[in-house]
Amino acid sequence: MREREIAIKERIILALDVEDIGAAKALVKKTEAAMGFYKVGLELFLAAGFPMVNWLVDRGHKVMLDLKFFDIPETVKRAVARLSGRGITFATVHGNDAILAAAIAARNEVKILAVTVLTSFGSSDLAAMGMTRSVADLVRFRAARALEMGCDGVVCSGLEADDLRRELGPGLILVTPGIRPGANRMAGGDDQNRILTPGEAVRRGADYLVVGRPISRADDPVAVIEAMQAEIYG
């Protein structure tokens, strides 16, 4: 199965999970020579809003807006429509068929990624929510529905990527959080449950890798990025 062609500087998406626009800009300036794709999540968007997105796009970078839209369909439709024309590459959406359909109807040039199961969730979390499916089964079910609905891709763990790629084909974009370099894979104090190294995730079929703390908290972030790129493309 042919692998999607992705530029080396765009394969890793750096999660700008920081407290304000100043810290985000400092991290971008420190890393942008080695990469060109950044994730703006809920914390940073609430602190900095679209000015942060505009600043990234103006510098020539791609943006994943990770707000995980989840609301009544009409609200989601109107919210997604407001992303058009801003240079945003990916936007994430949670929810059922009606919510996904609303986002897809309003997406214009923005690619819609359906969230399957958060990588911080394990089987005990699903059981506590009253769900009887296994994590893997729920991810496969939601990814298949997202593809049928017309989503451009899904957010999933690298642990599920190989099954999704094999069962759903090459068309669906797979964006994978929970990525940890080999030395940090089993480190404690982490809220991620379903994790893989960069090389493992790509070999399993992941297209884009979302990485946060292993880069943002490193003494030499660029060295970490380059080591991950070497593992992926080596």
Question: In this structure, what token pair is assigned to residue 207?
Answer: 């297209």
Banded pLDDT at 3 (limits 50, 70, 90): low
Half-sphere exposure of 203 (CA within 13 A, CB side): 8
> Does 42 or 5 have the greater pLDDT score?
42
Q: Can you name the CATH fold of 12-233?
A: TIM Barrel (3.20.20)
Give the 3-state secondary structure of residue 163: helix
Lowest mean pLDDT among 18-27, 129-138, 214-223, 224-233: 129-138
Q: Which residues contact 99 (CB under 8 A, 6 or more apart)?
A: 69, 70, 71, 72, 73, 76, 93
Average pLDDT over all residues of the chain:
89
Domain parsing of the chain, residue ranges: 12-233
Q: Return the active site residues.
A: 68
- 138-177 per-position pLDDT tens digit: 889 899 999 999 999 999 988 889 999 999 999 999 999 9
pLDDT in tens, 176-223: 998 988 644 444 445 555 679 999 999 999 999 999 999 999 999 999
Measure Cα distances from 189 to 111, 186, 193 in Å: 33, 10, 11
Structural tokens at position 45: 């968007």
Percent of the chain clearing pLDDT 90 (strictly above): 76
CA torsion angle 97 170 90 110 (round to 10): -70
Give the residue from 114, 126, 120, 119 showing the smallest Cα distance to 168.
Answer: 114
pLDDT digits (tens, 9 = 90+) for 104-132: 999 999 999 999 876 666 567 555 656 65
Q: How far is CA 21 from CA 4, 26, 32, 45, 221, in A?
A: 33, 8, 16, 9, 18
| Residue 139, pLDDT score | 87
Q: What's the pLDDT tens digit per position in 47-77? A: 999 999 999 999 999 999 999 999 999 999 9
